[in-house]
Chains A and B, each alone.
Chain A
Amino acid sequence: MTMLDERPSEEANPELERKAERAESWRGFFTALPTYLYLVVFFVLPLIIITVISFAERSRTGKPVLGEWTLDWWIKLGDPLVRSVVFRSVWLAFLNTLLSLLLGYPFAYWIATRKSALMRNFLLVLVLIPFWSNFLVRTYAWRTLLDSNGLVTKVGEMTGLWGKMLFTEPAVFLGLLYGYLPFMVLPLYAAIEHLDWNLVEAARDLYADARKAFIKVTLPLSKPGIIAGSILVFIPSLGAYVTPDLLGGSKTTLLGNYIVTQFKSGRNWPFGAALSVTILAIMMVATIIYFRKGGKTL
């Protein structure tokens, strides 16, 4: 199509142009419509309802009674027991994100800077396998390692450094670290692999030493990977259910188990709803703070 036959028609018929644009926009709308409807019915409405339910009275079976309202469940969040569960969950999730970053960064950097492409790809596949492997199975592996007959326990007893760790907080932490470390490594790898090494070279040419070039150039340039990795680790750690359930004991209840308990043996659905909304709120606040702070300091 040449410019010549396009222009006159455009000037002559702005009405037609506008019509075409409107038709195009309806086509976009109808392409999205099935997914749009699905998400409204099975995501948006349930999200609104769970918030409403958190203000409902509870029946004798633990289910919500619609039509009778109360603030009890939100007030209950201030109980010392509940507060300690929330605090422990946030603390463990934060600690896990930090340690994953400290372990994952040099690891991802090492893989991304291997000289041969073949080696880089091979190491990347080695990271992908645990990343895609069944999470439950990987957690179960630690359950047997940390039990009385487990290898880790035997090594600890032999050296006298530690005993049986299963059902303690360190066991839960170890499980979380093991479970989510690959989630940190992959985005970090992608960011470091794609960064513009010319800039690092330029810094070195301008007499920055290796450390300075790393802190002033490499680290800031890999910020997208740091942010993505941290979010990918923090969110599932905060809501962890399988890990504390299999590796922790009654004293290491985290928000995830606590919520499930409310819907099962705890028989308090409205309180479970309030906790579910709380965990979502914490996650959103943490993500926003992280994006803001990350934007300034790095």
Chain B
Amino acid sequence: MSVQEGTAHRPWVDKVLTVNGWLIFAFLYLPILILVIYSFSDSKVVGIWGGFTWKWYNRMIHNPEMMGALWNSAKVAFISTIISTVLGTLAALALDRYRRWLGKGAFDVIMYLPVIIPEVTMGAMLLIWFTQILPVNLSLTTIILGHIAFSASFVTIVVRARLANLDDSLEEAAADLYANRWTTFRRITLPLIMPGVMGGALLALTLSLDDVVITEFVQGPGASLLPVYVFGLIRRQVTPEINAVSTLMLALSMMLVFISLAFQARSISKSKNKEA
């Protein structure tokens, strides 16, 4: 039975739900929309419309600190996403495909802790670890290490969900046909879990690009990431230039949403083709 038949509401219930629904969408979207609009306003004060202009975008592009932070963000996000995707996928495979191994129970708990631990705690403990215990200087490297520490777990969750929904008959068939483990993994398992791996990677990328708290704890002097740099700007003074860079960050987030949706749509249509 489909969703609709079980939910024959009285018309007024449906009307109230619909009005409530669109009101919540307005609540979610109006603030963002207004922010974007004022990034084009030719007035120094955000909130007063001064006519259309591109000047804040122009100023943003010619702000070397801002562009430096953007470049740092891209580097950190790229490296931490690749490493956490590999680590997270390996962990998911070990947890799902091997029934029993040394320390599996403990690993299963440890793996999920970074997801539920408050960000400030994570930032504080990494700061102490890097500066008081390990003999390292805070730099982009410590930021990358910190980002991997929390995003690998998110990748594991996503990939593990994908693995749990796969039946392993194809892998068994490959093994019966004398494919060795590596061939089976490369030709069968990996393509099957690829949508999960890509989903996990996109999540890791987003988490890295969004992070303020952990980065602020473990960043070195002079090498900041875009969100932390913008955070500092907002604290000092609100200007339409911040609206411009915010709009850029929103556009980036949206792009990632649509990429991930495209991946999902493709994997769904593929599995449907197979059924037909």
Contact = CB atoms under 8 A, between A and B. Distances in A.
Interface stretch (A10-18, A21-29, A75-83, A290-298): A21-29
Contacts of A34: 86-87, 90
A106 B25 CA distance: 13
Given A32-B101, A144-B238, A263-B217, A113 B124 contact: no
A260 B86 CA distance: 31
A31 B28 contact: no
Interface in A253-277: 255-256, 259-260, 263, 269, 272-273, 276-277
B31 A147 contact: no
B194 interface: no
Interface string B138-153: 0000000110110010
A200 interface: yes
Contacts of B209: 134
A143 interface: yes
A165 interface: no
Contacts of B149: 38-39, 42-43
Contacts of A150: 47
A158 interface: no
A279 interface: yes
Interface in B219-243: 227, 230-231, 234-235, 238, 242-243
Contacts of B146: 42
A126 interface: yes
Contacts of B174: none
A269 B146 CA distance: 19
Main secondary structure of the interface of B (DSSP, over half): helix
B126 to A, nearest CB: 6
Contact of A130 (B29, B86, B156): B29
A130 B28 contact: yes
The 3 A-B residue pairs whose C-beta atoms are closest, nearest first, are A28-B98, A197-B6, A239-B118
17 contacts: A28-B97, A34-B87, A66-B132, A107-B20, A110-B20, A115-B4, A126-B25, A126-B29, A130-B29, A133-B254, A136-B227, A137-B35, A141-B31, A241-B212, A245-B235, A263-B217, A273-B125
Given A110-B20, A134-B209, A235-B118, 19 more contacts: A28-B94, A31-B97, A36-B107, A38-B148, A39-B114, A40-B110, A43-B149, A49-B128, A49-B129, A103-B24, A132-B206, A136-B227, A138-B32, A147-B46, A201-B6, A259-B124, A260-B213, A277-B121, A280-B118
Interface of A: 1, 24-29, 31-32, 34-36, 38-40, 42-47, 49-50, 53, 63-64, 66, 103, 106-107, 109-113, 115, 123, 125-130, 132-138, 140-145, 147-151, 178, 181-182, 193, 197-198, 200-201, 204, 210, 231, 235-236, 238-239, 241-242, 245-246, 255-256, 259-260, 263, 269, 272-273, 276-277, 279-280, 283, 287
Interface of B: 1-10, 13, 17-18, 20-21, 24-25, 27-29, 31-32, 34-35, 38, 45-48, 86-88, 90-91, 93-95, 97-104, 107, 110-111, 113-114, 116-121, 123-129, 131-133, 145-146, 148-149, 152, 156, 176, 206, 209-210, 212-213, 216-217, 227, 230-231, 234-235, 238, 242-243, 246, 249-250, 252-254, 256-257, 260-261
